[in-house]
Amino acid sequence: MVDLLKCVEIEPHGAAEFTVIWLHGLGANGHDFEPIVPSLRIDPTLQVRFVFPHAPHIPVSINNGMEMPAWYDIINLDLGREIDATQLRNSAIEISGLIARENERGIKTENIIIAGFSQGGAVGYELALSYPNKLAGLIALSTYFATQKTIKLSPANRKLPVFIGHGRQDQMVLPKMGKEAYDFLEDQNYPVEHHEYEVAHGVDMDEVKEIGTWINRAFNRGK
């Protein structure tokens, strides 16, 4: 049996009916977005479990080869963003194991949202848009669609709702990279939203509020 990634989990007050699996960015861990959950103001009639997996520690080229929590190696930070795409896809497979565990715990795949920040969002694009069974949605924050040219889009998720959020002052992942992902998804007729905020490589409270509203809407569709 393959070991699942270790995770931080926040349980609802009742039996969980929905799940958000939220991937952190480079050098962070599963605790990174844990504190924002109360600020999302999730509809109290929705029983939502939050799962924040920890990325493994691997050597990262832009960190002089030193190990740090990462979903995949980044070779350089230019606009081409050379990465180890095989590691990215393997991380997506690892997250799919968490989806399977949620299924075992009684959560339907159509009641699961995949969310990711920066590196985590790049994995989220690959996982959610190629996943063979229908998901509830994808949240892509301060990120880019690293595998856009190679992904095999899943017919089951061709109507997947997508929320893209990006900081206008982001110098780590330029806003144009988020907009390129939006343009691709819009051209493919996905129900995608693109939002920008007055923040750098991070999220602000306006964004958190809108993410919460979007989650409530996505899960209320599944009730």
Positions marked active-site = 118, 170, 201
Q: Using alpha carbons, list the distances in angstroms from residue 56 to 25, 67, 96, 128, 173.
A: 12, 9, 15, 20, 22
Burial of 15 (0-12, 13-18, 19+ CB in 10 A): exposed
Kindly state the DSSP code that residue 118 receives in the 8-state scheme. Answer: T
- Residue (of 114, 119, 116) closest to 172 by Cα position: 119
CA distance linking residue 51 with residue 53, whole number of Å:
6
CA distance 108 to 71: 25
Q: Which helix (H) or strand (E) holds 86?
A: helix 85-104
Q: Are strands 162-167 and 192-197 parallel, antiparallel or unpaired?
A: parallel
CA 173 to chain CA centroid, Å, is 15
DSSP H or E stretch at residue 166: strand 162-167
